[in-house]
Amino acid sequence: MPTRRMTMAQALVAFLKQQHVERDGKEQRFFHGAWGIFGHGCIAGVGQALQQHPDFRYYQSKNEQASVHIAAAFAKTMNRMGTFACLSSIGPGATNMITGAAMATVNRLPVLLLPGDIFARRNVAPVLQQLESEQGQDVSVNDAFKPVSRYWDRINRPDQLICSVVEAMRVLTSPAQTGAVTLALPQDVQAEAYDYPKEMFEKRVWHIARAEPERAMLARASEMIRSATRPMIIAGGGVLYSEATQALARFVEQTGIPVGETQAGKSSLAFDHPQNLGAVGVTGTPGANIAAREADLIIAIGTRLSDFTTASKTAFQNPNVRFLNINVAEFDAFKHAGLPLVADAKEALEQLAASVNGYRVEADYTALIGEWKQRWEAETDRLYALRHGPPISQGEAVGVVNRVSGPRDIVVGAAGSLPGDLHKLWRAREPNGYHLEYGYSTMGYEIAGGLGVKMADPSREVYVMLGDGSFLMMSSEIASSIQEGYKLNIIVLDNHGFSSIGGLSQAIGSKGFGTNYRYRTGSGQLDGQNIPIDFAALCEGLGAITTRVRTHDEYARAVEAMAASDRTCAVVVEVDKEMKVPGYESWWDVPISEVSEIGSIREARAKWEVAVKQERHLEIKA
């Protein structure tokens, strides 16, 4: 067998270069390079290999966690048909990636993590940054990746790479099993040579299959739909990953069934589609949540049915409600004791459309859908036009960006109060025009994620919206966007603290304790004046063209001016954290102290005890 003598790291990079994916006859390369920071544990191994293979581009992040966010955001925008590898040194460089790994796995997004590891030959241990274990000499901090990875391996000998990379690709390209894949790379093994078979470095195309629904289950699903009088679809991220948006539109136009969108599924339908009731769940619209409450059939497509979607299992109150779950992952398809239609979303929708041909919801339900939709559009217009302050309201801030952005532009967000407002208020016009990381709700994701989105589709303007809390956690990739020439439009909302958790603190009776950026006073508490943080100076110092504004009109002009620039821009505006977009027809379970010396907490507990009785244990329903 012909062989090539290469180091393990060189062989790894040479292999990754040759991996491609194909679906529906469209072929593309899977890995678009590697992000990371060189340090001891990777620079002499993978670092040298990347230097030797300039056609597999190395990108320099400023934080290892950000590397994973960039890769995951890229993969999401590519509908999981492409990603990056992420490398690190051993020790803190490796563990910095763990949060990103959890985020990718929770969101079912493919990323390849290549953390440097301790010496396999052990004789020089403990090496710099090694955490020794009394349990054994084969334990390192990289074992912490195991619970947050869909596949994990440590390459202790160079020949082990041959088998491991194929398993890694199997998981990365699986629609049902994908997530973070971790290959821990001992630094001495990275530099060791081996005679690798040449066929390992030949082009390989991984076919992404569209799983078809099993016939008997399809027939049962069709009967469930035909017998339903108040059906509702919940569209999750799987609709977008499957590229099933047109199939969904045709199905609901044929049947008249309304749609509520999850955070990951928003933009599955254009906001003005007659059947689109908008966001569903804790951060949902009134119409979508009323429809869910009264539905006798929930058709969940490509969603994990998280507590924000199900309103902590209070969303579905019809005693006769049933669930039809369309999902490529069997694990998700069986949730809520639903009928599991384990299949690709596009295939399932197309086959269901044929099998329920002639079925359509009753006229009175159609009229209700139209009424709910009309009322919500009027409410959105009201919130967009408040002209509050200054400080302006967050709803206004969202409205200005939505008005200025084009139909193909993309808004990016993650944690805090913004996801709730964006989920309700953002008027998505094109698939993937709405990009929120809310499966793991990762503070600091936004700017790094925005860079990954822009790299996946440079033709679309990317608007990154984030609060001051997320900005303080991770703003470093502003510099990376400048370095690589990918323009971002960044909107920093300064509300002097953690707005979302502050609101939750108020709701549970804790009165915002510890959630504002304030000086500590003689009382011993953080209840003094707001500490002054110059976010505009921080953005400018990282290289962004920055504007600080106060009024609504100043803000609107600054956002409009962003489009004329070819470099990353930032607008910093103060918002009134107390001027919130309301919640509608929904509830979220946050347990409240059963005993407390604080009266407001006792009052909140009493309300919780009433609300929690609405939770339904749907998973045991026959």
Regions of the chain where pLDDT drops below 70: 618-622
**What is the span of the domain harbouring residue 99?**
3-207
| Residue 235 covered by a domain | yes
Say what the pLDDT of residue 501 is: 85
- For residue 346, the domain's CATH number is 3.40.50.1220
| Residue 293 covered by a domain | yes
CB count in 10 Å sphere of residue 554: 16
| Residue 54 covered by a domain | yes
| Residue 608 covered by a domain | no
Domain shared by 95 and 38, yes or no: yes
- The residue among 230, 184, 206, 458 whose CA lies nearest residue 322 is 230
Say what the pLDDT of residue 370 is: 98
Domain boundary among 207, 236, 270: 207
| Residue 548 covered by a domain | yes
Domain shared by 479 and 538, yes or no: yes
* Token representation of residue 535: 């976010």
Domain shared by 94 and 237, yes or no: no
Length of the chain: 622
| 488 close to 462: Cβ distance less than 8 angstroms | yes
Q: Classify the phi-psi angles of 475: left when phi > 0, otherwise alpha if psi is within -120 to 50, otherwise beta.
A: alpha
Domain shared by 153 and 229, yes or no: no
Instruction: Please tell me the distance from the alpha carbon of residue 165 to that of residue 433, in angstroms, as a whole number.
Output: 33
- Report which secondary-structure segment, H or E, holds 547: strand 545-549
Burial class (CB in 10 A: 0-12, 13-18, 19+), 599: exposed
Say what the pLDDT of residue 557 is: 98
| Residue 553 covered by a domain | yes
Domain shared by 248 and 296, yes or no: yes
Instruction: Please tell me the distance from the alpha carbon of residue 51 to that of residue 57, in angstroms, as a whole number.
Output: 9
Q: What radius of gyration, in Å, describes the C-alpha atoms of the chain?
A: 25
Domain shared by 306 and 448, yes or no: no
Domain shared by 320 and 288, yes or no: yes
Strand (E) positions, 409-495?
410-413, 434-436, 462-467, 489-494
Domain shared by 442 and 311, yes or no: no
Say what the pLDDT of residue 502 is: 84
Q: Which residues contact 486 (CB under 8 A, 6 or more apart)?
A: 451, 454, 455, 458, 568
Domain shared by 74 and 190, yes or no: yes
Helices (runs of H) and strands (runs of E) counted in the chain: 24, 23
| Residue 220 covered by a domain | yes
Domain boundary among 148, 182, 207: 207
- For residue 178, the domain's CATH number is 3.40.50.970
Domain shared by 561 and 494, yes or no: yes
Domain shared by 224 and 263, yes or no: yes
Q: How many domains does the chain have?
A: 3
b/e sequence 523-545, b meaning 16+ C-beta within 10 Å: eeebeeeeeeeebbebbbebbbb
Q: Rounded to the nearest 5 degrees, what angle is found at the Cα of 489, between the Cα atoms of 399 and 480?
A: 150
| Residue 601 covered by a domain | no
Q: Please, what is the angle between helix 394-404 and helix 363-384, to 10°?
A: 100
Domain shared by 293 and 434, yes or no: no
Domain boundary among 375, 402, 432: 375
Instruction: Please tell me the distance from the alpha carbon of residue 493 to that of residue 489, in angstroms, as a whole number.
Output: 13
